[in-house]
Structure 1
C-alpha cells in the first residue's frame, strides 16, 4: 500500500526557472525524507499558487512529512497550507500506468 500526499498553498514566487534555482538544494534534501518515493512539483504563477504531489510508502511517513513541511512553510510566512493524504488504489492506478511500483 502507498499513500499520496497533496499539498497546496498561495505564494508570491519564485516560479519557473527561478524556482528551480532557489529550491534545488531543498529538492535534493527531500530525497532523504523517510518513506518518500517521489514528488511532483506543480505551480501556477498567474494564480500565485504552488503545490506538490508526493508518494509515500506509509501513511505515518506522509503525516510526519506534512507536519514538518507545514511548519517549514509557516516559517516562510505562508500561513494557510492545505494538505490531504489519500490511500492509492493500486489496481486501478496500474491500469492507467501510474508510477507507484
Structure 2
C-alpha cells in the first residue's frame, strides 16, 4: 500500500533559492531510492525547520529510506529527526488529484 512519510528537523539554512541550489544533487539522488514516488520539500526559515512529505510504494521502502536519511542527517549535525508514517487512501486521494 502506498505510504506517506512526513519528516521534519531543526535546520539553520540555507533556505529558498540558496537551499535549492545547495541541495539539487541530493534532490536528484532521492529519485533513485527504492520504492520512491515523490517528495514535496518543506522549509520554515522562521521556525528554523526543514523536511519533506514523501510518497513511497510501500511502508518497507519508506522505513528503509528514513533509516538511511536519518543517518545522513546525523552526519550533517541534525540531532533529532521527527517522522510519521501514514497509509494513503488511494481512492479518496485520486478524487483530489493526490495520486
- TM norm. shorter chain > 0.5: yes
Structure 1 segments unaligned to the other structure (5+ residues)? none
For residues 85-100 of structure 1, the aligned pairs below 5 Å read 85-98=85-98, 100=99
Structure 1 counterpart of 2:75:
75
Tell me how many residue pairs correspond in the alignment.
99
1:15-53 CA distances to partner (integer Å, 9 max, x unpaired)?
A: 001101110001011110000011110111111110100
Alpha-carbon distance between aligned partners in 2 of 1:56 and 1:75, rounded to the nearest angstrom: 24
| TM-score (normalised: structure 1) | 0.94
- 1:32 counterpart residue number: 32
Ranges in structure 2 where 5+ consecutive residues have no aligned partner = none
- Over aligned residue pairs, what C-alpha RMSD do you find? 0.8
2:18 partner SS? helix
> Which residue in the other structure is 2:84 paired with?
84
The answer as to 2:66 corresponding to 1:66 is yes
Distance 2:51 2:81 in 1: 10
